[in-house]
Structure 1
Amino acid sequence: MSLDLNTLDSLLRTFSERPQALNLDSQLAELMRALVSCRFDHLPLPGQGQTLHRWQTLAHVAGCDLALAKLYEGHTDALAILSECDATHLLGEAVWGVWAAEPPDARTRIVACDGDNVRLTGRKAWCSGALQIDRALITAWTDDEQPQLVAITLKQVSQRQQTDHWQAVGMAATASVALAFDQTPGIAVGQPGQYLSRPGFWHGGAGIAACWYGAAEALAHYLRNHCSKPHPDPHAQAHLGAVDAALCGARAALHECAAWIDRQPAADASFVVRRVRAQVEQAAEQVIHHVGRALGATPFCRSSHFARLSADLPVFLRQSHAERDLAALGQQLAQLPAGAWQL
């Protein structure tokens, strides 16, 4: 399916330029439902020849608004997971999310099972967008200590522990809450352990990097427009040069990674995805640095779109695990034959 980005823009433009504070319970959820209703969530699946097109759409939405991109990426990732696990019959018209964080103080357990129908107890933390979506795929634990993917309906959750602990300024609109389960019904999806072992786990991780890139690209356009005016500041031009170098490197890395996945969709993509995430994260941080120094306080104070992206992107980037991810990348690289960097 070819998704018309110009048509998508007609739904996104007013939202991205809104001056008022976001109403958590209306605007964001309503726009997500509009995107689903218009089938703008039907992206090419990863590894089927159009992975780059999928990531381009994610980047486009992220350049509009990262709170929206958080919901949109989670929903489209859920659709890809359900397809990979042969569970598309569960889709319906719902807005989906994917929650798989496993902090030591919050674990969801399967306490009863009747075929694919299960009952859950415990807690699930870091449920971003739980105030705006309908259904979610979560990881829950079986007696043999394997993570099992479970589809839940938010209306059936025992308790939503609300956002009084959520003090974020960046990504404030997608408040992450903790959910409490008490014999809550769910439907098992796929086999125990399949969520992490399937090839699409890493494909989805690269989709997050495409969102980082889209937001960084949108910030960079403010600097490019500034430098296109008569008598540009040479210091701003130098910052623009640095931004171009960073974004072009990240863009090339995303293109290369997408082509690699399309050539071998069933292969372990952990190394190439860790690498591209590191490259895009570093590029985004460079963009934030250079654009801010070049433009000063004005766009932070007078452009709602710029201000939101600038506040949201540093928080969204922390979906990276920083040095832990770099250490894992280095460990994998050390096991490869010499010559991995040859031109």
Structure 2
Amino acid sequence: MDEGDRPTDTDESAGRDERTDEESAAASEGSDDGSSDESVDRFSDESTDRLPEESDDPLSDESDDQPPDESDDRLPDESAGPTSVGEGDVPSDSEVDAQPRDEPGSLGQGDAAAGQRSASRAGGESGIESGEPTADESLVHRFRHDREGALMWIREMLSSVAVVLLVGLLLFGVSGVWPPMVAVESGSMEPNMQVGDLVFVTEPGRLAPDAAENGVGVVTHEVGQEVDYRTFGSYGSVMIYTPPGRTGAPIIHRAMFHVTEGENWYDRADAEYHNAVDCGSLANCPAPHDGYITLGDNNGAYDQASGLSPPVRAEWVNGVARLRVPYLGYIRLIATGQVELNEAIAGAVGSGLPATGPGSASTALTA
């Protein structure tokens, strides 16, 4: 390159002055052109002025072409600040209207699918909650609310059994013996106890009266006359006992008096209830051991005189009768075959059962 072709210092100063004037004029036009356009022009002019000074090779031409393109892509975004916005950066009303909007209440495809799944789950749960009852639920409902049919009869029967068991448990808590009730199955205690009576029993010694001077809570007929203690229509206590070797139901008879071992009790006995002429002809006399002489109210002989039982030891006593409930014992007697249904009906209406002979035992079937 000739020296004449090279730019002088004067020319470079003139060029810079011209660029300064041009930049000032561009700035005076206002912010309408935008900071991005100003940056592009300034960078292009400076690139054009500097690159020829460095070299005249083909790289100068590339510099003249490429930097303006790169500045057009990057600098407008980087140099744009919040203080100035060009008219080209603000979308027009037509562009805003052209942009897709979500209408109120509308859902996207993903939201719509999720909503459908939630609705289906909610529908399934509500179907389970408010749908038809299951077979088990229906059966339980019918069992509890049916007014007729087999389920009603089963419910009533189970309710009755439950009531009886509950009452039995309560009575057991009071009596202290199980079972707490016995059913009278013979007439030896008539008229004070009838066949079919259900008798409430307490264990020996429980609820004993003051007149009972023994551990079993029994007041004898002899003592009852002295202190005016009466139960079941006569003096003294009625007790339930089981002598050794007895295979039948326990015996429920009245305690008449107490004897000691070796005692000659012939003189204390009422001649109405034995046929003996002396102790030698009276069974169990003298007394083989301590015990009670007993008698059924409807019998003509002592249990010991008839040979039904030796004098009743205290340990043979199962309990003491306290209360009777008429007719309720027939349920137990019919169930065990002790009484036929027609006999139970006849006894309930008052025609009575065949009379028992002298010396018979009024037995108590444990309920």
TM-score category, normalised to shorter length: under 0.3
Instruction: Choose between structure 1 and 2 for higher RCO, CA contacts under 8 A separated by at least 6 residues.
Output: 1
- TM norm structure 1: 0.21
Please state which structure has a larger fraction of its residues in strand.
Answer: 1
Please state which structure has a larger fraction of its residues in helix.
Answer: 1
Higher-Rg member (1/2): 2
- TM norm structure 2: 0.20
